[in-house]
């Protein structure tokens, strides 16, 4: 499952993604990201953004493979939560 929002005219934010353990490694994550990117293009967004935990190397590698660029640390709003990174995928017109 994946969810995304279009908080402004220029940006789509991928806010959550989860794949059941039995389905991992079968391209499901790739299809979910592609669906969000396709929807972002339909919305005429300039970019897709997401936040990912610093310690989630598998997710970071997945997003990099799809063209996301590591941007900046995300400020932790809740004490005790792991640090997160902002990742951005610029979309071509």
How confident is residue 8, by pLDDT bands cut at 50, 70 and 90? confident
Q: What is the pLDDT of residues 50-72, one digit of tens each?
A: 999 989 999 999 999 999 999 98
Mean pLDDT for 31-53 is 96
Q: What is the 8-class DSSP label of residue 27? A: T
Which domains occur in the chain, in start order?
A: 2-90 (3.40.630.30)
Burial degree of 24 (CB within 10 A; 0-12, 13-18, 19+)? exposed
For 20, the enclosing helix (H) or strand (E) is: none
pLDDT value of position 7? 86
The residue with tokens 């940006």 is 11
């Amino acid at each position: 499952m994946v969810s995304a929002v279009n908080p402004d005219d220029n940006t789509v934010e991928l806010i959550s993604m989860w794949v059941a353990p039995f389905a991992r490694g079968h391209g499901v994550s790739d299809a979910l990201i592609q669906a969000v990117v396709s929807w972002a293009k339909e919305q005429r967004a300039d970019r897709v953004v997401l936040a990912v935990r610093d310690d989630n190397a598998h997710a970071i590698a997945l997003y990099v493979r799809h063209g996301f660029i590591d941007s900046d640390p995300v400020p932790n709003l809740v004490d005790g939560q792991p640090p997160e990174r902002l990742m951005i995928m610029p979309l071509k017109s």
